[in-house]
Amino acid sequence: MLVVACPGQGAQSPGMLAPWLELPGFAASIRRSGEVTGLDLAAHGTTSDADTIRDTAVAQPLLVASALASLRAVLDVAADAPLGASVAAQVDVAAGHSVGELAAAAVAGVLTDDEALALVTVRGAAMARAAAATPTGMSAVLGGDPDEVLAALDAHGLVPANVNGGGQVVAAGTLEALAAFAAAPPARARVIALQVAGAFHTEHMAPAVDELRSAAATVTPGAPGVTLLTNRDGSAVDSGERALELVVAQVANPVRWDLCQATMQDLGVTALLELAPGGVLTGLARRTLPGVETVAVKTPADLDAARDLVRRHAGSSTAASTQEQSS
């Protein structure tokens, strides 16, 4: 059983699209995505510097466009062709981390590529405005006793905005509180500041929820064509309307990727394919999903391995049965 995982913000890096744009189909997908978002995504993926692509309004559309274009490359689907039939035949489960949920919604058929790109453009810009209102940020907390880590976050007025599993929690809040926490971390815990513009998935993002909800109201979502997991609690989503509602609300609520991975394990997932720019989610899977084969799509050199993974693990009847029960 194959899960396609879509990475979240922070996975981007300068020049990440340079080798990809040598593929005509990928370049066409990025060009089309740029037209929808109004951003020069090809330039942002090749020549823009780290500070430029750290901007939430740039990073989020760039990540969703990259994920969808790389899936098209893996499945050999043209930029102007619908993904639906190819995904339904070869993918069992879709999940995305944070902004990756919009890419996953497109993978599952809840949104079209263009709808996902239009919504992520609103999401990124709205979250950038919300982040600018107060100096906030996020830090990864690696290791330590889970209860002690959560207690320390609470004592500093911080929120566990991402609970990723594998001993990783992402703290979010004001820069002052994050600095105080990093100066006196829990025993055996390491704190690493993340290159993001604000305290995502906290109350600081509430204004962005309202903006995204208004944009989402113009979309008529489709039913999930494969099992689609939500960051809210890791469960399978039973309708397109519910999926879209959860994606909107998630902007100001914690990401429970640990629970998404627990559901993958319960479903019997045997392989995880992380779309471009891959690496983070496969790393988490290796620590928390023993026995699950992983491939991270980072460059075109990974396409053969990705296609082989799809060929060997896709099309499980278990996923189809699960989807029938949740529909």
Catalytic residues: 98, 201
Spatial CA neighbour of 74 closest among 218, 266, 278, 258: 278
3-state secondary structure 111-171: CCHHHHHHHHHHHHHHHHHHHHHCCEEEEEEEECCHHHHHHHHHHCCCEEEEEEECCEEEE
Q: Count Cβ atoms below 10 Å from residue 226 Cβ, excluding itself.
A: 25
Q: What is the DSSP letter of 295?
A: E
Convert 202-217 to b/e letters by CB count within 10 Å (16 or more is b).
bebbeebbebbbebbe
Instruction: Provide φ and ψ at 143, rounded to 5°.
Output: 80, -165
Greatest CA separation for the chain: 53
The label of the residue with tokens 């599993």 reads 165
Query: Computed over its alpha carbons, how large is the radius of gyration of the chain?
Result: 18
Q: What is the DSSP letter of 259?
A: H
- What the block records as the tokens of 287 is 């620590």
